């Protein structure tokens, strides 16, 4: 699915959160959005997800304007504790993702099992979220996103609430899922390393109100791996460049 962002802007009351932004994200692309905190990157993601009404401009998914959460788009939030429903088992949590399209029973079971296998938690269907570790819960949240068979996966700081080791595991999981499911991914993060390591392109936003400072192509070879990729000189260069942009004081000069 192709995402087109046309002069999209948002303000909260008097305070502008996002200056008009335009961008295109192609089918199957992996785009990371980075920027200093409070720059509106999460707002941008909520607008793409149809969870916030746009102030100006619009978002098109394969030419269809977004007004409300669209079919074929799944969201993974940062806070798994407030995104998984603790009173439902893992299986029922996952089943909720397909309620809107009512697949046949067998089909649903198949999708749930496949999603759980994909995230490496095949034996947890009967458990409750609170019986799992934080990293496992975030995996369940990702599995739930997959059950809807999305063509776009939107992720809002999905690895911010877990420890470093778990974060690396989850990053590699996302890379594998991208291959397996062929989805378009937009990832919002404040972690510069993460954005360069995972994405094909990095959109760097300015401090609030956010606008695109740089649309940077990450020309690192696939497949990527924690040790190999992060040891490449080109990784260090890209990382330094993004870092400079994020840290740059506001001077109004666009690249």
Partner 1 sequence: MAERGRGGPASTVEPGTAERAGRLRRALRPLASLWLLAALLLVWELAARADPSPFLPPFSVVAARFGEDWFAPAPGTLLLSERFLDAVPVSLSRLARGWALAAVLGIAIGVLLGRSRAARALASPVIRFWMSVPGVAVLPIALQFFGVSDAVSVFLIAFGSVWIIATHTADGVAGVDPGWLRTARSLRLPRGALLLRVVLPAAAPSILAGLRVSLGFGLVLMIVAELYATTAGLGHDIALYQQTFRYPEMWSAFLLVALLGIALNGAVDLVERRVLRWRRRG
Among 33, 97, 108, 216, binds partner 1 (CB under 8 A): 97
Identity of the residue, 45 or 216, whose beta carbon is nearer to partner 1 in the bound complex:
45
Q: Is 59 in the site for partner 1 (CB under 8 A)?
A: no
Phi first, then psi: give them for residue 189, nearest 5 degrees.
-150, 155
Q: Is 126 in the site for partner 1 (CB under 8 A)?
A: no
Closest C-alpha among 53, 40, 137 to residue 88: 137
Q: Is 124 in the site for partner 1 (CB under 8 A)?
A: no
User: Minimum distance from CB of 47 to partner 1 (Å)?
Assistant: 13
Q: Is 49 in the site for partner 1 (CB under 8 A)?
A: yes
E strand or H helix at 234: helix 233-247
Q: Is 96 in the site for partner 1 (CB under 8 A)?
A: yes
- Distance from C-alpha of 15 to C-alpha of 240, rounded to nearest angstrom: 31
Beta-sheet strands, E only, within 53-150 = 56-61, 64-65, 73-76
Q: C-alpha angle with apex 213: 77 to 243, nearest 5 degrees?
A: 70
User: Minimum distance from CB of 41 to partner 1 (Å)?
Assistant: 17
Q: Is 148 in the site for partner 1 (CB under 8 A)?
A: yes
How many residues can be counted in the chain?
255
Residues 155-194: x where in contact with partner 1 by CB under 8 A, - otherwise, as a string = ----------------------------------------
- Distance from C-alpha of 126 to C-alpha of 95, rounded to nearest angstrom: 12
Among 38, 86, 122, 225, binds partner 1 (CB under 8 A): 86
- Distance from C-alpha of 71 to C-alpha of 74, rounded to nearest angstrom: 8
Q: Is 66 in the site for partner 1 (CB under 8 A)?
A: no
- Distance from C-alpha of 182 to C-alpha of 26, rounded to nearest angstrom: 12
Q: Is 53 in the site for partner 1 (CB under 8 A)?
A: no
Interacting residues toward partner 1 by CB under 8 A = 49, 51, 69, 71, 74-75, 77, 79, 82-83, 85-88, 92, 96-97, 99-100, 128-130, 144, 148
């Amino acid at each position: 699915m192709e995402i087109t962002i046309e002069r999209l802007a948002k303000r909260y009351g008097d305070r502008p959160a996002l200056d008009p932004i335009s961008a295109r994200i192609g089918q199957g692309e992996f785009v990371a959005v980075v920027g200093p905190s409070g720059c509106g990157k999460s707002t941008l993601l909520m607008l793409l997800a149809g969870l916030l009404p746009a102030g100006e401009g619009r978002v098109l998914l394969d030419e269809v304007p977004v007004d409300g959460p669209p079919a074929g788009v799944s969201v993974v939030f940062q806070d798994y504790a407030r995104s998984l429903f603790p009173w439902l088992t893992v299986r029922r949590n996952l089943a909720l993702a397909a309620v809107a399209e009512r697949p046949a029973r067998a089909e649903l079971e198949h999708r749930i099992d496949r999603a759980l296998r994909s995230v490496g938690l095949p034996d947890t269907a009967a458990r409750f979220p609170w019986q799992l570790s934080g990293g496992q819960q975030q995996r369940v949240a990702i599995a739930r996103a997959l059950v809807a068979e999305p063509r776009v996966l939107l992720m809002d700081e999905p690895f911010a609430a877990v420890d470093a080791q778990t974060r690396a595991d989850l990053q590699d999981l996302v890379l594998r899922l991208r291959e397996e499911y062929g989805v378009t991914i937009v990832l919002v993060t404040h972690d510069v390393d993460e954005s360069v390591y995972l994405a094909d392109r990095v959109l760097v936003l300015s401090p609030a109100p956010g606008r695109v400072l740089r649309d940077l192509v990450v020309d690192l070879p696939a497949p990527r791996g924690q040790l190999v990729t992060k040891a490449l000189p080109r990784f260090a260069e890209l990382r330094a460049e993004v870092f400079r942009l994020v840290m740059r004081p506001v001077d109004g000069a666009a690249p």
